[in-house]
């Protein structure tokens, strides 16, 4: 069989960032508004700090203003809520992002509920998720990672309508909204989770697989229907003494095996990851346009 097409998220994300750059400057020139993204980081988790740094860099690269607030690990929930509400009222801020996970003494739901749905660029507000799930309703924002998965399918002209799609994982931030989005695109969707029996029998029926599990190389070649399209969201560190940092990142899907069976697959890294950040920028631009009624 011919090897699978590499679905190049890095390249698509670059194209999208270029499109956003053009729109951001058109908006600034026409109405003098620069889209602004506020990021709230609580505590000093290294991975969270890295994500926040990358988001900030990405904003700068397209001309979006980024505002960062760092609160200490022992902040109170009220401190975070105060910061959220300040940004809700700040007209120069069009998107608010609370970096997860929050310290365990805080009620994550309370804090996410406090983000104005007009500025909920992560798409995690229950009203946005609720609208995503309902026919005839439109969410103001769709969560960035699943949106990035669907955008990749679109940009490669892979048909979704009428296809059998399987989503592995049902988290609030990836699996569940990915399944809802596929359903909105008229796929027939099955969700696999940790209690699913014989997952490989289900994945073998899929024309499209989106995997968001967090288990390195769980999806083997034998799980895949020949010609299937695979979007691998997983980002999993595995020990590798030859790698500079002693580990490397792999997806949920065994890439080498999948390549010989699937018709298309996203690499890890360089697949969904860059798309997630591009969608965050896109959501922030959309928000600024909506708030200022700019087409």
Residue 267 tokens, joined: 């690499």
The question of whether 122 is a catalytic residue gets the answer: yes
Q: Which residue is nearest to ligand NDP (CB)?
A: 171
> Which one from 55, 119, 147, 163 is the annotated catalytic residue?
55
Minimum Å gap between C-beta 199 and ligand NDP is 6
Q: Which one, 103 or 214, has the nearer CB to ligand NDP?
A: 214
- Nearer to ligand NDP by Cβ, of 75 and 266: the residue is 266
Q: How many Å apart are CA 290 and CA 283, to the nearest integer? A: 10
Is 30 or 194 the residue whose CB approaches ligand NDP more closely? 194
**Catalytic position from the list 8, 99, 147, 207:** 99
Q: How far is the CB of 187 from ligand NDP (least distance, A)?
A: 19
Whose Cβ is closer to ligand NDP: residue 94's or residue 170's?
170
Catalytic annotation, pick one of 8, 120, 122, 252? 122
Which residues of the shown chain bind ligand NDP in the complex (CB under 6 A)?
145, 168-171, 173-175, 192-196, 199, 212-215, 233-236, 272-273, 276
Rounded to the nearest whole angstrom, what is the least distance from the CB of residue 153 to ligand NDP in the complex? 15
> Closest approach of Cβ 59 to ligand NDP, in Å?
16
Q: Which residues are catalytic?
A: 55, 99, 122
């Amino acid at each position: 069989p011919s090897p699978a097409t590499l679905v190049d998220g890095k390249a698509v994300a670059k194209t999208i960032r270029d499109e956003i750059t053009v729109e951001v400057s058109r908006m600034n020139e026409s109405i003098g508004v620069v889209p602004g993204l506020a990021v709230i980081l609580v505590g000093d988790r290294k991975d969270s700090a890295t994500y926040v740094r990358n988001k900030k860099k990405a904003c700068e690269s397209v001309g979006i203003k980024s505002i960062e607030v760092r609160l200490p690990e022992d902040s109170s929930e009220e401190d975070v809520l105060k910061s959220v509400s300040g940004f809700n009222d700040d007209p120069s801020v069009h998107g608010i992002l609370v970096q997860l996970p929050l310290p365990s003494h805080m009620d994550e739901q309370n804090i996410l509920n406090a983000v104005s749905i007009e500025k909920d660029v992560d798409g995690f507000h229950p009203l946005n998720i609720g609208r995503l799930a309902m026919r005839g309703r439109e969410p103001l924002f769709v969560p960035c990672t699943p949106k990035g998965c669907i955008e990749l399918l679109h940009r490669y002209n892979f048909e979704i309508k009428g296809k059998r799609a399987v989503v592995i994982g049902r988290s609030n931030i990836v699996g569940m909204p990915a399944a809802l989005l596929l359903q909105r695109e008229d796929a027939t969707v099955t969700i696999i989770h940790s209690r699913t029996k014989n997952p490989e029998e289900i994945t073998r029926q899929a024309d499209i697989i989106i995997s968001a599990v967090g288990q390195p190389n769980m999806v083997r070649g034998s799980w895949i229907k020949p010609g299937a399209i695979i979007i691998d969201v997983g980002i999993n560190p595995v020990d590798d003494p030859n790698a500079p940092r002693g580990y490397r990142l792999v997806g949920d899907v065994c890439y080498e095996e999948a390549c010989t069976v699937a018709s298309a697959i996203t690499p890890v890294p360089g697949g969904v990851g860059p798309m997630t950040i591009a969608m965050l920028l896109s959501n922030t631009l959309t928000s600024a346009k909506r708030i200022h009624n700019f087409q």
